[in-house]
Structures are given as structure tokens and as C-alpha cells.
Amino acid sequence: MQLGMIGLGRMGSDMVRRLIGGGHECVVYDVQPAAIQKLLQQGVTGASSLEDMVARLAKPRAVWLMVPAAVVDSTLAGLVPLLESGDVLIDGGNSWYQDDIRRSAALAPRQIHYVDAGTSGGVAGLDRGYCLMIGGERDVVQHLAPIFATLAPGVDAAQPTPGRKKGNSTAEQGYLHCGPIGAGHFVKMVHNGIEYGVMAAYAEGLNILRHADAGKRARDADAETTPLRNPEHYQYELDLAEVTEVWRRGSVIGSWLLDLIAATLVNDAGLKNYTGRVSDSGEGRWTLSAAIDEGVPAPILSIALSERFSSRGAADFADRVLSAMRHDFGGHVEKTADQPDTQKG
């Protein structure tokens, strides 16, 4: 079927490619003309403006937004006046589900339909397909099924789940109508919350493995340094590329994230290409906020988020408070970083 796509960044343009490959017709637009140019040879129709895009789409139109969460509202401000009753807007980006609820309510009087499509898959999605978590009216979502089916990975992307009746649900194809407006982004949000926790678990474990040679490094023997009682227990120099590779087969912690880190460690065992400033793009914050509203404990996610903040230096003042207190009650003087007990990064 025909789809308008607004936003041709990494994600948007790959999704267009996958749709074209699946036989769909795409009319595309981006504020940067170069992004449109790049796709023209794929067989898309480029639009010179939002007006032009809307004019080129058959009614009822289906327009997919794949823009940063921060510019969805401004994009809608330009687009919505051009749309008509019965048209469908799909937000496939990382919007907060509460914005979906607000936007949908604003569009309702004009009978413009709104669908939120949480999209996971990242840069691998062009090949692997995208996992789609969808919220909105049932019949509107069903109308878009051909689009979702092409973007999704398909049944063969995973082994059948034992006990499931086949063909019972589109979940097996990799897309799911989760519920009313916002349900798609809600599920995607929690997906990312889980992602933070899973990533942190691997990161922590690999860090422990990396320091398994702690007994080989000299330590200060002063009152500010806890002695390592049994240095003979920490004499291992582990090859993390090998360890992550072996875990990929048969272990309990096999996963796609493990596949990725195993590949990265092959050529950069010390991860020298990274400095360790870890960004967060909002979903983790929103998941935590939802957990708080629900009164549901989310300690793993909380810690994973706090660690990202700390990686950017945001714990510095708190750490200085601790040092100051230790000085005040115990006369403890801070050690400096170039002393021999300095941690191996």
C-alpha cells in the first residue's frame, strides 16, 4: 500500500528501503533535501514540502512520522492542517506515550486517526526487520497491517514458541496491536527500560571479569586502602572476546545484545574506542516515572539510569560531599588518582 514517510534519518530511510523492497509505494519528505535525494534511486517519490507530500497521497492518507521526539509537535503543527477526515498519522519515533494520548485527543474532533508505533531494531532493522509495538483503534491498525507486516521481521525470525497456537496473533510476525492509543509507545518504553537493565547487567559482569587480575596489581598499604586479603584468588587475565563468544552458544545469557558486544570485543578488547560517557534518550526516565506512578518497584532500572548519569560526571558533587564528611569525622584525607592503587579502567 501507499505510505508517506516524514523523517529520513537513519531509521526512517532504512524503513523506506524495507517498505520499497516489500512492494509498497512510498512518498517521502525530510527537511534536508539531500536525505530525499539519497532515496530517489530506490524508487520512492520525493516530496518537496509537506503540502506536496499530502497532495501526492491517495485518501485516506497514511503518513508515518519518523522524527526526533522533540520535533514531533512542530512537525504536526505544519502537517495536520493539510490532512482530512479519515487520514491516519503514525508516530513511529520514540515519543512519550502520554504525548500520544494528548495528540490523539487533539486530532479526534477532526476525525484524523492516530497510531503510535514503538519501533525497535536499530541500525540492524533494515535486514532483521523491526519489532513493532502498536497502539490505536483496532480497525485503523488493521488497515495498516500490510505496512507493519513488511517492516516486521516475520515468523521465521525466531523459533516457534512451544505451546503457542500458530497463526493466533501477529506477534509471531513481529508486530502487535498492544491496545488503545499510547499502548504501543508504553510497551516500547518499558522495552527500553528492560534494555537499560540488561545492558547494565552485562556491563557489570564484564567489568568484574576484566578486573579478575586485581591480585597482580600493587596496592597501597595505608589506612585508606582496604587490603586484598587473598591476591592469589585474583590472578586471571581473561580474554573477554573469547568469553562473550563462548556464552553465545548454549548459555543461559545468550541474547542479541551479547552477540553485538562479542563482535565489538573482537577488534577492540579494551573498548579503547569509547570514553564511557553514556547518553540516555528518555525512555528509561519515562519507564521509571511510570513505575513510580504505578507504585511498582523498579530498582534495577533506577540503578541503570543513575549509572548513566554518573558516567557523565553528575555524581561528582555527591562524591565530594562523601569525601568532606569522611574528612570531618575521621580526618581521612582523599587519595589522589595517580597513586598505585589506581583502578584499571
The reply on whether position 249 binds a copy of itself by CB under 8 A is yes
Among 51, 52, 137, 245, binds a copy of itself (CB under 8 A): 245
- Site for a copy of itself (CB under 8 A): which residue of 29, 186, 216, 218? 186
Residues 251-270 that bind a copy of itself (CB under 8 A): 251-264, 266-268
How far lies 167's CA from each of 138, 142, 145, 161, 164, in Å? 18, 15, 15, 12, 9
250 interacts with a copy of itself by CB under 8 A: yes
Residues 165-184 that bind a copy of itself (CB under 8 A): 169-176, 178-180, 182-183
Interaction of residue 318 with a copy of itself, rule CB under 8 A = yes
Q: How far is the CB of 124 from a copy of itself (least distance, A)?
A: 7
Q: Which is nearer to a copy of itself, 113 or 308 (CB)?
A: 308
* Site residues (CB under 8 A) for a copy of itself, limited to 264-303: 264, 266-268, 271, 273-282, 285, 287-303
195: annotated active-site residue: yes
Element (H, E) at 241: helix 240-247
Could you tell me which stretch among 39-47, 51-59, 72-80, 115-123 binds a copy of itself (CB under 8 A)? 115-123
Site for a copy of itself in 23-52 (CB under 8 A): none
Chain centroid, CA 168 distance in Å: 28
Cβ(11)–Cβ(125) below 8 Å: yes
Distances in whole angstroms, Cα of residue 242 to Cα of each of 258, 314, 326: 12, 34, 42
Residues 6+ apart with CB under 8 A from 26: 2, 3, 4, 5, 16, 19, 20, 44, 45
State how far the alpha carbon of 219 is from the alpha carbons of 214, 216, 234, 289, 330, in Å: 9, 9, 13, 42, 22
- Contacting range for a copy of itself; rule: CB under 8 A; set: 19-27, 34-42, 49-57, 200-208: 200-208
- The residue whose grid cell reads 510497551 is 187
Minimum distance between the CB of residue 109 and a copy of itself, rounded to whole angstroms?
18
